[in-house]
Structure formats: C-alpha cells, structure tokens
Amino acid sequence: MESLQKVTYSPAYTIVPTYECFNRCSYCNFRTEPSKSPWLELDEAEKLLSSLQNTGTLEILILSGEVHPQSQRRAAWFQRIYDICQLALEMGFLPHTNVGPLSFAEMTQLKQVNVSMGLMLEQLTPALLQSVHKHAPSKQPQLRLQQLQWAGQLQIPFTTGLLLGIGETLADSQNTLQAIAEIHGRWGNIQEVILQPYSPGTNEEYKLSAFPIKKLPEIIALARQILPSEITIQIPPNLISQPALLIACIEAGARDLGGIGPWDEVNPDYPHPPHQKLADILQTAGWQLVQRLPVYPQHINTLPSHLQKAISQTLNLHK
C-alpha cells in the first residue's frame, strides 16, 4: 500500500503578554491602545502553562503587541517576554516568539530561550504606508526586512510570511517572495513562509474586501516556484473554509497548517477547525496530517546546546 504524503502542523498554544500596540494597522483585530491593556503577569503565565501540561501541546507561541522602541516601558516589556519564554522552556514546552521588530541585542537575547522566532514581512511595497500602514511605524519594509537579515546573522530558525489582499499587486507579492529567497540563499535560516489571506474581522478599524480566496492556490504555486525547496509553505486552515480549496492549496505546494490551538489570536472571528476534522479532510485526498516541532529538523543543530537538550527532553515527555 502506498504511504500517504505528509502535511504538518504544530500542536500549539498562544500566550499574549499584552495586546497594546503603538502601531494602528487598519485591518488589525488584535491590538488595544497603549496602556489600555494589562500585561500578563508571570504567575498567571505559570498557571496557564501548568494547565497545558499533559495536553499534547508542544509549541508556546508568544505573540504580543508592540511597545515603542523609545518607550520607557520597552525594557520591562521585553523582559516579560523573555521571562515567559524561559518559564515555558523550564516547564517542558518549546517557545516561538513573534512580537514585532526587535533590536539586534534583543534578538540575541531571545535566541537563548526560543527554538525559533518569526516576523511577517506582510508586503515590502512602500505604497501601503499611505494606506493600511499609514499609522504603523514598524511596518516600514526595510525595518522588517532587516529582521530577517539579523535572524540570518544570528542563525535563528525563522518563520516569515505575506499578508495577501491588503492593497498589494501580484508583482508586490512576487518581489516580497524573491526578497525572502535571497536572504535564505545567504543565511539558510528561513524554515517557513506563511501565505495568509486577509479575512475581515469584527474589531478592525476599516474593513477591506476579503482576499479572493480562490486565488490562493495560484499564489502558493508562485511561491513554490520562487522559494527554495527547503522552505515550507504554510497556510492557515481556519481561513480556508472549503475542504476542496484546502486540498487545492496543498496540491499547489503548501505543506504545513501552522500552529493549531484553541483559537487564532490574530483572526479571532475564525476558529481553528478541530485537528481530527483536518486530518479526515486530508486523508480523503491522500494526505496524512502529522505533528512537527516549532523548529524544523534541519535547523536543530544550529541552536545553542541547551535548547537542543530541551528539544530532546520535550520529545521524551511526549513519547
């Protein structure tokens, strides 16, 4: 009997240190105004992590709004993120942090307590600074591209991606994909590229038209042509409601469904489908849904030795 081809996902839970953010992207359903959202306390994080033990959760995604780089509160914000990562490691989980652009020094520190990190490029065209990113200083294309370059220099296994349907052209998406490919060609540390279709939510400032979801396989095929084969293309299954379209995206070249947990903090109006439902959909088309770590196997040996040890211990816990 021929074995099924594999599609991966990460059993994940998202922890949010704070929803406050100094950016104001017009499509955001996540942020609150600065100083209007309480920060997650460490004892609260510990209780949350304790409740996740023995549930099969491997990845802790630390996802945060951004405190301004020049804010007097920036150091405390960063320390809270670092402490949550360290706590997650100590409790047998594998942290993956995505909290916006960081300084080189901050990335260097977080490398010690994360098995991988991430930042969406979204789109590199500066035209969006006049529209959806008009009030979002950290969405400067070169600032975000620099993060990928620094991650390469620091050999941090990295996830990035494109947000589709926010005013870009197909050529813009092609240019963003080519920039990712070039950075990976130099440093070799990009493990995933997410292709995320914009989907309107109830909390955003200004509703755009949803990305025409039937075009997603076309974008995936384009990305597969541009990106090196060792970079996995990830799609969010909660934003693809039709099983046939999900299969079409897989057949076009997507091979990962991302972190699947109780809900999607970025798209709270679109709950994740149950794991078993996704597995059944894929199996009917000849695909097998399998778990993965938040760091891909080919990148594990680039991590500091204490993180390699943590990965081994986590895998032993989940045997």
The answer to whether residue 319 scores a pLDDT higher than 90 is no
The answer to whether residue 86 scores a pLDDT higher than 70 is yes
Can you give the pLDDT at residue 185? 98
Residues 38-62: pLDDT tens digits?
Answer: 999 999 999 999 999 999 999 999 9
The answer to whether residue 75 scores a pLDDT higher than 70 is yes
Count other C-beta atoms under 10 Å from residue 170's C-beta. Answer: 12
The answer to whether residue 251 scores a pLDDT higher than 70 is yes
**Its pTM surpasses 0.85:** yes
CA gap 12, 295 in Å, rounded: 12
Can you give the pLDDT at residue 205? 78
Structure-token pair, residue 184: 């990976």
- Are 38 and 18 spatial neighbours (Cβ–Cβ below 8 Å)? yes
**pLDDT band with cut points at 50, 70 and 90 for residue 207:** confident
Beta bridge partners of 279: none
Task: Answer positive or negative: Cα dihedral of 262, 268, 274, 278.
Answer: negative
Percent of the chain with pLDDT over 90: 90
- Are 210 and 198 spatial neighbours (Cβ–Cβ below 8 Å)? yes
Can you give the pLDDT at residue 171? 97
Structure-token pair, residue 7: 């599609």
- Are 196 and 120 spatial neighbours (Cβ–Cβ below 8 Å)? yes
CA gap 66, 77 in Å, rounded: 9
CA gap 269, 206 in Å, rounded: 15
Q: What is the DSSP string of 117-133?
A: EE---B---GGGGGTTT
How far apart are the two ends of the chain, measured CA to CA in Å?
26
Structural domains in the chain?
A: 5-308 (3.20.20.70)
Count other C-beta atoms under 10 Å from residue 203's C-beta. Answer: 11
The answer to whether residue 230 scores a pLDDT higher than 50 is yes
The answer to whether residue 167 scores a pLDDT higher than 70 is yes
The answer to whether residue 281 scores a pLDDT higher than 50 is yes
Can you give the pLDDT at residue 233? 98
Residues 282-311: pLDDT tens digits?
Answer: 999 999 999 999 999 999 999 999 999 999
The answer to whether residue 104 scores a pLDDT higher than 60 is yes
Please write down the HEC assignment for all residues of 236-302: CHHHCCCHHHHHHHHHHCCCEEEEECCCCCCCCCCCCCCHHHHHHHHHHCCEEEEECCCCCHHHHHH
**pLDDT band with cut points at 50, 70 and 90 for residue 1:** very low
- Phi, psi of 99, rounded to the nearest 5 degrees: -130, 25
Instruction: Give every CB contact of residue 238 below 8 A, 6+ residues apart in sequence.
Output: 264, 267, 270, 271, 272, 273
The answer to whether residue 234 scores a pLDDT higher than 50 is yes
Can you give the pLDDT at residue 2? 55
Q: Which residue has the tokens 């870009």?
A: 168
Instruction: Give every CB contact of residue 50 below 8 A, 6+ residues apart in sequence.
Output: 91
Task: Enter the DSSP assignment of 2.
Answer: P
Q: Please, what is the average pLDDT of the chain?
A: 95
